[in-house]
Chain A
Amino acid sequence: MKKLSMLFALALAGLLQLSAQGYQVGDKATDFRLRNVDGNYVSLSDYSDAKGFVVVFTCNHCPYAVAYEDRLIEIDKKYRPQGFPVIAINPNDPAAEPRDSYERMQERAREKGFTFPYLLDDGQKVYPVYGATRTPHIFLLNREGNDLVVSYIGAIDDNYRDPSAVEERFLANAINALLEGRKPDPDFTRAIGCTIKTSD
């Protein structure tokens, strides 16, 4: 019996390990219910008209995340009316990074005039499911029937430092592709970012 429960525990650990790998392009994304800086809870299912979502794991304290704030606002202003709103999620544990507390998120959203929801992944349940490893980290979802399919994972563009020197607008190109009924190419890019902060 002891052996059996051991086996079960191992199998469970294996499953958890698998789920910790996160999404790849083509996977169906799960919904969530997280608290926005305005105090309301937000779920993807609240947006019945959306063709998809720009889910971005971002935060206050990371210089790379900060460098992209204005560009995220632009993306939201441009693509929300076309059916792809930005949903920002702070995945960091405020106990590990006080600058990413709910109150500091509220301050930052007000200062910058975020046009999109800025949600706290309270309890850090959502980012591991998506497989976010850094901030900022983009997961572009496309509505296909009743599913939200992960269609692009990665960076916003190829130059965090200087928006005027950007050569490839990975995210905008990917959204444009989906709007035109094409698959994004590339559908996966990488960028330097800050690790997601946990308390252990």
Chain B
Amino acid sequence: MWKKGFLQSLFILFTVFALSQVPSVDFDGLEPRLSTGSDSVYVVNFWATWCVPCVKELPEFERINEEYADRKVNVLLVSLDNPNHMESRVIPFIEKHGLKSEIILLNDPRSHHWIPRVDESWSGAIPATIVFTRNSRSFYEKVFTWEELEDIVISKLNRVSLN
């Protein structure tokens, strides 16, 4: 009985631990997520917990993720936080703000090499966002309002359904 309870609590602990993990990838690991052959719309936002304008617009991405989930819209939040701050800052931040969107930490300091592979026009400032479908792609180095972001998502949805 005691043993069963112990195993159960171990299992619960393990599940909680696994759920709170954020995958950490280098750019080669992220790149396949930056294009698609499917008929979904993808919104990929580059942010960091310490970036004030990024944090300010996160609720808009969360809202897209929630309100458009059933319309084939996927949100991916790519954290550029220092990987050493995963346990001390990134995960507590996600828990505190109750973020529901998928989150990946990009652990690749050689930004000179991968910034132009995300978008040729990106100067390197964050926040930055790409919105893409299988046949169109838009890049934004700016902070979104809800209206702006929703307009872009809707226009992408319309374009996908036309093709």
Q: Do B110 and A190 have beta carbons less than 8 Å apart?
A: no
**How long is the Cα–Cα vector from A197 to B51 in the complex, in angstroms?**
11
Main DSSP-derived SS at the A contact region: loop
Give the interface SS of chain B, mostly helix, strand, loop or mixed.
Answer: loop
Q: Is B109 located at the chain interface by the 8 A CB criterion? A: yes
- Residue from B82, B112, B123, B127 within 8 A of A161 (CB atoms): B82
Q: What per-residue 1/0 map shows which CB atoms of B40-61 lie under 8 Å from chain A?
A: 0000000010111100000000
Which residues from chain A sit less than 8 Å from chain B, CB to CB?
63, 97, 133-134, 154-155, 158-162, 165, 167-168, 170, 189-197
Q: Which residues of A contact B126 (CB under 8 A)?
A: 192-195
Q: How many cross-chain pairs have Cβ atoms below 8 Å apart between A and B?
A: 61
Task: Tell me, rounded to whole Å, the shortest Cβ–Cβ distance linking A8 to chain B.
Answer: 29
Residues of B within 8 A of A197 (CB): 52-53
For B77-118 the 0/1 string (1 means CB < 8 A from A) is 000101000000000000000000000000001111101100
Q: Is B68 at the interface (CB under 8 A from chain A)?
A: no
B24 nearest CB across to chain A (Å): 13
CB pair B50–A63 under 8 Å, yes or no, is yes
What is the bound-complex CA distance between A190 and B118, given in angstroms? 12
CA distance A176 to B82 in the complex (A): 31
Is A192 touching B110 in the complex (CB atoms < 8 A)? Answer: no
A195–B125 touching, CB < 8 Å: yes
